[in-house]
Amino acid sequence: MLPSMSFKIRGRELRVDFLMPMFGRESAKPVFLPALGVSAHPLRFLDYLIREPVQAAVIGGSSILVNVPHPARFAFHKLWISGKRPVSEQTKAIKDLRQAGDVLEVLVSDRPGDLPAAWEELARSPSVLKTVRLAISRLPSGLQEGLVRKGVS
């Protein structure tokens, strides 16, 4: 039996999932990482998501500085994930689409310069781009128009 791919602190809402980029054939089988003593869930396109992270503060009893995915990359990755979920996970797909839309709304209005570079790199993968474009077509029309004006199409 493989060790857990996630950890949760009792009495807290925080949960840490261990992920790793998936290369090659599609597989949902966890991969054991002996150096950490944990298993990680392989996730396609994770390499895109974690490239060019930004720093953010986690605020609680004490604040700590962490690296998080670039917001535009996070949103586009969420759109891709929403389009790849099986029918049995449509509730999660709807949540992914909503989260991506919320981040994209902020980026279109407050940080439009963040979108083109993340989109350009995404466009290097035709199959990913097709899935993301289909997900964008399910976003509110005003947001779709805003994305087109900012060079995402």
Please give the DSSP secondary-structure letter assigned to residue 148.
H
The domain locations on the chain are 71-149
pLDDT attached to residue 67: 93
Read off the pTM: 0.85
Phi and psi at residue 25, to the nearest 5°: -65, 145
Torsion of CA 35, 39, 43, 49, to 10 degrees: -50
* Burial 92-102, CB ≥16 within 10 A → b, else e: ebeebbebbbe
* Burial zone of 91 (CB within 10 Å; 0-12 exposed, 13-18 middle, 19+ buried): exposed
Please give the DSSP secondary-structure letter assigned to residue 124.
T
Render each residue's pLDDT in the chain as its tens digit; 153 residues: 556 778 787 888 878 888 888 877 777 788 888 888 888 988 888 999 999 999 999 887 788 999 999 999 999 999 999 999 889 999 999 999 999 999 999 999 999 999 999 999 988 889 899 999 999 999 999 999 999 998 887
Asked whether the CA dihedral 113, 75, 67, 118 is positive or negative, the reply is negative
